Structure 1
Amino acid sequence: MIEFKDIEKSFGRQAVLSGINLKFDQPGIFAILGPNGSGKTTLIKSLMGMVFPSAGEIWIDGRLKKGNEYRNSIAYLPQIARFPENLSVSEFLSFIENIRGQGSRKEELSVVFGLNDFKDKKLRTLSGGMRQKVNLVSALMYDTHTIILDEPTIGLDPIALINLKNWIRKEKEAGKTILLTTHIMDIVQELADEIVFILEGKVYYRGSQEELLSQTQTENTEQAIAQLLSLQKAS
């Protein structure tokens, strides 16, 4: 369970989050959407301890978030991965295992995302798509009940994208809570159980895709999100 209570964050005079209240206490796939600068990435980084809110509290599994122990219960895929460029793919994944311990799903995920084809290559030599596959395996290789995916589809080829979607569905069926940020509305329409739309640092909409389509009188999620933006600009 993750709960954001009255979360606020400002950078200088710029308010990025303004009283965010959200609770995720059920398994499922929750798409956190919003235009660039809406605050969604800042919200995720606040959860992961990479940004410190100006006000409010974050609760994880019924406990106020403190220290770093909670990170072992959350798998986090950052939008931009930063690797030790001098290591090979296999050396990097072994490095993570040495830090976090055994019991990883490294081998299974390496097959899913085709890492074995380039496991001996140095990270500095990899293309963007290859780096994203390493990012996915390193983020998901431990079995956690909460998964945070920040723009997970960047650079993926069609086969890897299909495998990622199947993996996300598999994790949902296992009772996981998955928070997903993306600008690819087809992914949202195909996977998401609920949509959280953040605009100017506030929760503008939360509900199912069916409710959103009915509310906006549109035919698909992409049109619905565009409608929300149009309504906001007109107000």
Structure 2
Amino acid sequence: MIQIESLHKKFGKNHVLTGLDLHIQEGGIFAVLGPNGSGKTTLIKAILGMVIPNKGTISVSGHPIKNKWKYRQELEYLPQIANFPGNLRVKELIRMIIDLRQKPCEEDKLVSLFSLEPFLDKKLSTLSGGTKQKVNLVLTFMFNSPLIILDEPTTGLDPVALIHLKKFIMEEKQKGKTILVTTHIMQFVEEVADRIVYLLEGKIYFNGTINELMEKTNQNNVEHAIAAIASQTNA
């Protein structure tokens, strides 16, 4: 699904990605983890075409993405911070995105799943952070695309919404979709991820299944295993 070879990116003198190689196969949930400044966001934005690498190649579904844009019609992206026009009502924003995308969608199912019916007529500027995140999730999942990229999807969610999100992500996986997730919530990773990619200073220090991570670190949960990897890399 995604093939990355010898990816380099620097901002000024700051080398953010340094020769990164990564293959993400089609189908499954891949957690991209690492501390702040590890290169996670730059990697995601490079895949989205929002950051242009200094060197290296990125291919999606077998096609290089450099100077291309149509591949983005087959992916969905949930940004970490939802910056919506505050003067729009929720239903107006949803309708605007549907009109722009011109693709079949299932917004009614998702509005119901995240209990957004009471907020459809409210302006976005009046919503809490958690409710904005639910709107963000509706906009991301309402189109049927094979690749989904989620940047901190659990931010601000109440426990009920979090349960619905995890269940929905697993349902999307069962449809054969490829889902990339960045998050700092290790319990969420442990419950949904098939593979973990751990980044530090623009390099991959671990790439494997949760069981492989446990065996490598001799730990019995993801949180302690990631802490062990971080300790090894900082030693």
State the TM-score, normalizing by the size of structure 2: 0.98
Unaligned 5+ residue runs, structure 1? none
Equivalence for 2:153: 152
What is the alpha-carbon distance in structure 1 between the residues aligned to residue 113 and residue 153 of structure 2?
15
Give the AA of the match of 1:111: S
Question: 1:12 Cα shift?
Answer: 0.4
Identity between Structure 1 and Structure 2 (%)? 51
Counterparts of 1:26 and 1:76 in 2: how far apart (Å)?
A: 17
In structure 2, the partner of 1:5 is: 5
Residue 95 of structure 2 corresponds to 94
User: Is the CA contact 2:8–2:18 (under 8 Å) kept in the aligned structure 1?
Assistant: yes
User: Which residue number corresponds to residue 35 of structure 1?
Assistant: 35
Q: Which residue of 1 aligns with 2:136?
A: 135
What's the CA shift for 1:219? 1.3
Q: CA deviation at 1:18?
A: 0.6
Following the alignment from structure 1 to structure 2, what is the Cα–Cα distance between the partners of residues 195 and 102?
Answer: 31
User: Is 2:191 aligned against 1:190?
Assistant: yes
TM-score of the superposition, structure 1-length normalised? 0.98
Distance 1:25 1:193 in 2: 11
Q: Is residue 53 of structure 1 aligned with residue 53 of structure 2?
A: yes
Give distance in 2, aligned partners of 1:199 and 1:85.
36
Cα shift readout 1:134-179 (whole Å, capped 9, x = no counterpart): 1111111110001101000000001100000000000000001111
Q: Is the CA contact (8 Å cut-off) linking 2:186 and 2:222 kept in structure 1?
A: yes
Task: Provide runs of 4+ in structure 1 moved above 6 Å.
Answer: none
Q: CA deviation at 1:102?
A: 4.2
Give the counterpart letter for 2:180 in structure 1. Answer: L
Counterpart mapping for 1:163-182 below 5 A: 163-182=164-183
Please give the alpha-carbon distance, in whole angstroms, between the structure 2 residues aligned to 1:226 and 1:7: 26
Equivalent residue number for residue 122 of structure 1: 123
Match of residue 77 from structure 1: 78
How far 1:34 moved relative to its partner?
0.3
- CA distance in 1 between counterparts of 2:53 and 2:117 reads 40
Q: Say if 2:224 is the partner of 1:220.
A: no
For 2:62, the equivalent position in structure 1 comes to 62
Post-superposition offset of 1:232: 1.1
Q: Distance in 1 between matches of 2:49 and 2:55?
A: 14
C-alpha distance after superposition, 1:101-143 (max 9, x if no partner): 1411111111111111211000011100000001111111110
Which runs of 5 or more structure 2 residues have no equivalent in the other structure? none
Please say if residues 103 and 143 of structure 2, whose CA atoms lie closer than 8 Å, have aligned partners that are also in contact: no
Matches of 2:7 and 2:105, distance apart in 1: 33
